[in-house]
Amino acid sequence: MRADRVFAYGTAAGLLGDLLLGDPRRGHPVAVFGRAAGAVERRLWRDDRGRGVLHTVVCAGGAVAVGALASRVVRRSPLASVALTGVATWAVVGGTSLAREARNIGRALEAGDVEAARARLPHLCGRDPQALDADGIARAVVESVAENTSDAVVGALVWGAVGGVPGLLGFRAVNTLDAMVGHKSSRYLRYGWASARLDDVAGWPGARLTAVLATVAGSDPRGAVRAWRADADRHPSPNAGPVEASFAGALGVRLGGTLSYGGRVEHRPVLNEEGRAVEVADIERAVRLSRRVSWLALGVSAAARRVVRGKRS
């Protein structure tokens, strides 16, 4: 079986597995990787960029090596190769968990239980929930759905199209390392620099594809393009900017503004100033848009894999 068909069948099976099964309650491969990366950090940590570079190389490189070795072991069996790609895809994507958490918060807000929504928000993003009212929580959820559509689904599919199973695992490893050590705390400002910068590079193509597909799949393509062009570069993140701006335009809402992380208040630019304020019902709309974007990304990635293989033949 051709490599592009292995990728297409395997990633489709993996996305279906995620849709039907979601993440495992225990022993999730990403959690296993996180524990291993934490062990590496405990041995290597110094307030030094060089040590952080070594940490990134060991952890991300190890994930890529595992993927390459597994692919080599099953390369003579098309069925095993499809199965490996499917399992790898299921392991690295998180669309169902993203949708489930967003909807749980949405249901709590619909019931008027703001405290329950605040309690669940840390499962989805790193905002300070006590600093948010119901509207602020809804906005945080929509922003998180937008950003994680790229980080948890589209970016992985893009790198899978480029590098197969090693690409899938490598992208998730880089994204996980950024979440673990890439933030600007006193402990990780230097040590996490390499992980944060590598995540910016790895996330760049997936973020742009997510923005394009949100424009195509949303209810207001012109609004999405307008918001993307006008506001994406104003966002402090080079990858979250295009994604959140395009989602804002596609949904016809305003995102951005004042938020709080770990007691630190940030005043971010408003994305899509022509839109209205986020409402609780927009959480479900954002989840549905995320689903459409994810399945479109599967088609685009499978087509790209076929083109790449054709050029190599």
Is-contact 220 254, C-beta < 8 A? no
Dist. CA 160–CA 195, nearest whole Å? 20
Question: What is the dihedral angle through the alpha carbons of 189, 246, 156, 177, rounded to the nearest 10 degrees?
Answer: 10
* Mean residue pLDDT across the chain: 93
Give yes or no for residue 308 having a pLDDT over 90: no
Average of per-residue pLDDT across 264-292: 92
Stretch among 11-20, 116-125, 163-172, 300-309 having the lowest mean pLDDT: 300-309
pLDDT tens profile 193-245: 999 999 999 999 999 999 999 999 999 999 999 999 999 999 989 999 999 99
pLDDT band at 262 (very low <50, low <70, confident <90, very high): low
Q: What is the reported pLDDT for 261?
A: 66
Stretch among 112-116, 126-130, 146-150, 290-294 having the lowest mean pLDDT: 126-130
Q: What is the reported pLDDT for 312?
A: 57
Give yes or no for residue 119 having a pLDDT over 60: yes
The domains of the chain are located at: 3-312
DSSP state letters, 24-77: -SS--HHHHHHHHHHHHHHHH--S-HHHHHHHHHHHHHHHHHHHHHHHHHHTT-
Phi, psi of 25 (to 5 degrees): -65, -35
Structure tokens at 56: 């990134």
pLDDT band at 306 (very low <50, low <70, confident <90, very high): confident
Q: What is the reported pLDDT for 110?
A: 96
Give yes or no for residue 260 having a pLDDT over 70: no
Q: What is the reported pLDDT for 257?
A: 83
Dist. CA 179–CA 157, nearest whole Å? 19
Give yes or no for residue 311 having a pLDDT over 60: no
Q: What is the reported pLDDT for 207?
A: 98
Average of per-residue pLDDT across 73-89: 96
pLDDT band at 2 (very low <50, low <70, confident <90, very high): confident
Q: What is the reported pLDDT for 309?
A: 66
Stretch among 83-97, 124-138, 156-170, 234-248 having the lowest mean pLDDT: 124-138
Q: What is the reported pLDDT for 3?
A: 82
What secondary structure letter does DSSP report for 151? Answer: I
pLDDT band at 290 (very low <50, low <70, confident <90, very high): very high
Give yes or no for residue 165 having a pLDDT over 60: yes
Percentage of the chain with pLDDT > 70?
96
pLDDT band at 310 (very low <50, low <70, confident <90, very high): low
259-267 CB contacts, 8 Å cutoff, 24+ apart = 259/127, 259/131, 259/136, 259/140, 260/127, 260/128, 260/131, 260/132, 261/126, 261/127, 261/128, 262/126, 262/128, 262/185, 263/128, 266/236
CB atoms < 10 A from the CB of 179, how many? 15
